[in-house]
Amino acid sequence: MDFSAANKMCSFCGKQGTQDTRFIGGLGAMMCVECLEHYHAQLQTPASRQALRRPPWETMTDVEVLDVLPQILRSAEQVTGFAAEWVGLLRERKISWSAIGSVLGVSRQAAWERFEGPSARRRGALGSGSLGGAC
């Protein structure tokens, strides 16, 4: 799996990672240290915690909401990439498509089609590290 910060982005502010970027991450979401420090500071007082309860789009203009849309899609693509890498790791460990499909709530065939089948290869879901076979 790709663990390099250079190929990731902060899921909170959209900052593109470099080799020097420090991210905290897990299960697809990545947070840069600057965002971590910002949100940590926001959690220090009852008033600032209360402000975080309001959705950010309530104070955004239409232009600002439009500007965020590409970031949301890049973040979704990053999470999809993480999922594909995770499935690749499972397949390297000889975990069956049936087991993968079961935890995803789909059939083994649906899991294979999403992560390994021809449409996945066309979308580039697994990139060049594609594992072969449907078993």
Give, in degrees to the nearest 5, the angle at Cα 102 between 99 and 105.
155
Amino acid at position 22, single letter = R
Residues 56 and 50: their CA atoms lie apart, in Å, by: 13
The pLDDT of residue 127 is 45
The pLDDT of residue 92 is 96
Answer yes or no: are the C-beta atoms of 26 and 79 closer than 8 Å.
no
Answer yes or no: are the C-beta atoms of 111 and 117 closer than 8 Å.
no
- Residue spans of the domains in the chain: they are 1-53, 60-135
**Sequential pLDDT tens for the chain (135 residues):** 666 777 788 988 888 888 888 888 777 788 999 999 998 998 898 888 887 888 888 999 999 999 999 999 998 998 998 899 899 999 999 999 999 999 999 999 999 999 997 767 655 544 433 333 444
pTM, two decimals, is: 0.69
Answer yes or no: are the C-beta atoms of 84 and 125 closer than 8 Å.
yes
The pLDDT of residue 4 is 72
